Amino acid sequence: MIKPHGSEVLNPLLVEDAQLHQQLLAEAEALPSLLLNSAAAANAVMLGAGYFNPLSGYMNLADALSVSETLHTAEGLFWPVPVLNLVEDVTAIAGASRIALRDPNTEGNPVMAIMDVAAIESVSDEQVQSMAQQIFATVDPEHPGVATFTNLGRNVVSGDIQVLSLSYFQADFPDTFRTAVEIRNEIAERGWNKVVAFQTRNPMHRAHEELCHMAMERLGADGIVVHMLLGKLKKGDIPASVRDDCIRKMVELYFPENSVMVTGYGFDMLYAGPREAVLHAVFRQNMGCTHLIVGRDHAGVGDYYGAFDAQTIFADKVPAGSLDIEIFNADHTAYSKKLDRVVMMNEAEGHTKEDFILLSGTKVRQMLGDGIAPPPEFSRPEVAQILMDFYQLENA
């Protein structure tokens, strides 16, 4: 199986030993507490689940600045996006060497992790703006990722952590949320060697479905892991539970048995386009995938990125040998009325735009909200029905 990023074996930070877990929870009650923001809590989940291997905790300011500028930590580890615990008010933990980190997304704010505080550093507005520009390629406050990142706080609390909880994801998505360790184990149990990862924060329509089929066929893959984001999104995005239902119905009806794993991970969407695509590659390697599909506008939002910037970053800015996972570059896929099937548009000779069935996201949402199913060439009717039920409930 493909090796994890940066180490020979996966190093999840979740404390699995029951006795140690109880000892740490008891210790946490006597420690100074820090209520995390959602972004820092998501980082803790990814660290605990092994997705952010080989990191042992939150980055310090030097590493964050270095990663933003060079895609490497100060010591030279390839990493595309800072993994930070940015804090507004550090009064409660001033001078503490060991603290309890509490979950902002679960009622009662239970302890998520215990942290050995290496440093508490002030970060300037200029440094935050510089990192935002490098991560998101913009400092426009209307960009949802920039808006979040620049308002998290001006204190960097760094250090190693021991994770005691993976927040609400296991309880809310018991059939879908999986750690990187669990996905690696299941890949091994299935006997898969060449494994493709498909990233999604949306329901999967025909174009996505066919893209997965194409990637599997062209790569000679044993299976595909549909890996959906389960954390926080921007307003207007489809809730994770609805996406989950749509994807499971599509896989059940339109994929061969034992060819797809439907899974999810606990992270908040960054909308960082190319940088987030590279982060996706890092943690898909950690979970055991050999290939990642990167398509049009991967992890993008609005018009902040070129349609294929998330592909070119791997050629232009990711040094050779930095990652073992390989990228399957995909063009925009759509149903060809001429060929009567879904194709990659750049491979369809003699076509004009009118030869494809193309619907904007806005148009599709409007149709679904009005109880009108998109054409079957665009969306499987069983998937469309789930989405119509959701939108009509929302609009009731």
Question: Considering the chain, what is the average pLDDT of its residues?
Answer: 94
Q: Is the C-alpha dihedral spanning 19, 21, 24, 25 positive or negative?
A: negative
pLDDT digits (tens, 9 = 90+) for 192-218: 999 999 999 888 889 999 999 999 999
Neighbours of 65 (CB within 10 A): 19
Q: Catalytic: 178?
A: no
Q: Which is higher by pLDDT, 340 or 128? A: 128
Average pLDDT score over residue span 161-166: 98
116 band by pLDDT with thresholds 50, 70 and 90: very high
pLDDT digits (tens, 9 = 90+) for 224-250: 999 999 988 777 778 889 999 999 999
According to the model, what pLDDT value does residue 355 have? 86
Average pLDDT score over residue span 269-289: 97
- Range with the poorest average pLDDT among 142-146, 323-327, 348-352: 348-352
Q: Tell me the C-alpha distance between 21 and 163, whole Å.
A: 9
Vertex 79, ends 74 and 80: CA angle to 5°?
Answer: 120
Domains of the chain: 18-170 (3.10.400.10), 176-395 (3.40.50.620)
According to the model, what pLDDT value does residue 68 have? 98
pLDDT digits (tens, 9 = 90+) for 346-395: 888 989 888 898 887 778 888 888 888 898 989 999 999 999 999 887 77
From the list 98, 154, 190, 201, the catalytic residue is 201
3-state SS, residue 368: helix
Average pLDDT score over residue span 125-136: 98
Q: Tell me the C-alpha distance between 349 and 215, whole Å.
A: 20
Q: Between the CA atoms of 221, 224, 225 and 229, what dihedral angle is there, to the nearest 10 degrees? A: 120
Q: Which is higher by pLDDT, 339 or 365? A: 339
Q: Tell me the C-alpha distance between 192 and 222, whole Å.
A: 5
Q: Tell me the C-alpha distance between 244 and 173, whole Å.
A: 9
According to the model, what pLDDT value does residue 396 have? 67
pLDDT of 160 above 70: yes
Average pLDDT score over residue span 267-271: 94
According to the model, what pLDDT value does residue 170 have? 93
Question: Quick check: 117 and 159 in contact, CB under 8 A?
Answer: yes
Average pLDDT score over residue span 5-24: 97
According to the model, what pLDDT value does residue 347 have? 87
From the list 155, 193, 202, 329, the catalytic residue is 202
Q: Tell me the C-alpha distance between 216 and 40, whole Å.
A: 35
pLDDT digits (tens, 9 = 90+) for 88-108: 999 999 999 999 999 999 999
Q: Catalytic: 151?
A: no
According to the model, what pLDDT value does residue 357 have? 87
